[in-house]
Amino acid sequence: MTGAPMTGRLALALPVLATLAASPAWAQPIDLSSGGPVEVTARDGFEWHENEQTVIASGTARAARGNVTVLADQLVAHYRKKAAAPQPASATTGDADAGSNEIYRLDAVGHVRIVTPTDEANGDKAVYDIDQAVLVMTGAHLRITTAQYVMTARDSLEYWSQQHMAVGRGNALVVSSDGRRLSADVLVGYTTPPAQPAQPAPAKSAAPGPAGGADASGKLERVEAFGNVEVRTQTDTVRGDRGVYVPDIGVARVLGNVKVVHGQNVITGAAADVNMKSGIAHVIADPAQRVQGLIVPSDTSAPGSAGPAVPKGPSR
């Protein structure tokens, strides 16, 4: 049967390939690749397309697995037959899961929200590859929000949960939890593995472990930037071809055709180190290229302006 509608408020639970052990509640990034079955509900019902091996849920559709919830106007679940698990030669019984189905891809369309206790992703359209644990979102108002940062982009956002990586393409912007901003054509943010709870107390104690925390979805480790890189501080704007930002030390290094703008003052060079905590940018000279600049000593256009960023040459 193809395209057969099923009306009413229904719930669909199809077994899904578990590529990892179930994620604990205290470490819950956007990852649908493991856990129990995916439960799908929809206000307007389902269409089961057997030939295409898809199930379409329409009208305030919702899919949930563990602590991950996908909300959209429409959800399309792509499924396949689940391969039978290898059996030892001495086995005399078949695999209980043989012949059952597993969802390997989930498409979400319209007002997409994917939420966990710590993270949230928003967009117009999303494709989640369950085998690879990769989310790709497109459309307007793209955003990934975690406890550590917010990333937005114009063209697409990718979330690679098992690689602890988010990628923004097209006018990408990342804003850390303390307000530091870095933008570029492409931004790649890396986080540390999710925080794990302390080891449980000896058996005589029944106290449960922690259930969450600010770093439950991983700590922002670094951000790599490519193309039309721009770093803004309280007083300076630094532009270049590429860069990397390390939140722990609060420093961004910008490379290639670097320009530092401080009010009306402009300094160019091969590279610049930008201290995102103090707001001071240091231009670094290249042995084959002198630092150049236009200095306007009386410029007071920037609040608290004390003159241009101070250039420094290579160490000798």
- Reported as a single tens digit per residue, the pLDDT across 221-262 is 899 999 999 998 877 889 999 999 998 888 999 999 999 888
Q: Taking residues 11-19, what's their average pLDDT?
A: 33
Both 239 and 286 in one domain: the answer is yes
Residue at a domain's end among 206, 224, 242: 224
What is the model's pLDDT at position 146?
86
Q: How much is the CA Rg of the chain, to the nearest whole Å?
A: 25
The residue among 195 and 231 whose pLDDT is bigger is 231
What is the model's pLDDT at position 35?
74
Both 220 and 249 in one domain: the answer is no
Both 184 and 244 in one domain: the answer is no
Both 37 and 109 in one domain: the answer is yes
Residue-number span of the structural domain to which 288 is assigned: 233-316
Measured CA to CA, the distance from residue 243 to residue 162 in angstroms comes to 24
Q: Is 204 inside a domain boundary?
A: no
Measured CA to CA, the distance from residue 311 to residue 298 in angstroms comes to 19
Residue 3 pLDDT class (50, 70, 90 cuts)? low
Q: Is 89 inside a domain boundary?
A: no
Amino acid identity of residue 28, one-letter, is: Q
The residue among 199 and 81 whose pLDDT is bigger is 81
Tokens matching residue 43 = 């206000």
Q: Is 201 inside a domain boundary?
A: no
Both 108 and 164 in one domain: the answer is yes
Both 52 and 159 in one domain: the answer is yes
Q: Is 91 inside a domain boundary?
A: no
Identify the CATH number of the domain in which residue 10 sits: 2.60.450.10
pLDDT for 165 beyond 80 = yes
The 10s digit of each residue's pLDDT in 68-120 is 999 999 999 999 988 766 655 554 444 444 458 888 999 999 999 999 988 89
Measured CA to CA, the distance from residue 224 to residue 243 in angstroms comes to 6
What is the model's pLDDT at position 9?
38
What is the model's pLDDT at position 269?
86
Tokens matching residue 151 = 């990333």
**DSSP strands (E only) in the chain:** 2-6, 10-14, 38-42, 46-49, 54-65, 68-81, 101-115, 120-129, 134-138, 142-145, 149-153, 156-160, 165-176, 181-191, 220-232, 237-246, 251-262, 265-275, 281-284, 292-294
The 10s digit of each residue's pLDDT in 263-308 is 888 888 889 898 888 878 788 776 555 554 445 555 544 433 444 4
Measured CA to CA, the distance from residue 169 to residue 15 in angstroms comes to 33
What is the model's pLDDT at position 282?
84
pLDDT for 11 beyond 70 = no
Both 122 and 141 in one domain: the answer is yes
The residue among 75 and 164 whose pLDDT is bigger is 75
Q: Is 279 inside a domain boundary?
A: yes
The 10s digit of each residue's pLDDT in 32-72 is 887 778 889 999 999 999 999 999 999 999 999 888 999 99
Both 42 and 108 in one domain: the answer is yes
Please, which residues have CB within 8 angstroms of residue 120's CB and are 6 or more apart in sequence? 113, 114, 143, 144, 145
Both 157 and 128 in one domain: the answer is yes
**Number of separate domains in the chain:** 2
Q: Is 203 inside a domain boundary?
A: no
Backbone angles phi and psi of 4, in degrees to 5: -75, 120
Both 5 and 126 in one domain: the answer is yes
The residue among 198 and 194 whose pLDDT is bigger is 194
Q: Kindly report the pTM of this predicted structure.
A: 0.74
Q: Is 122 inside a domain boundary?
A: yes
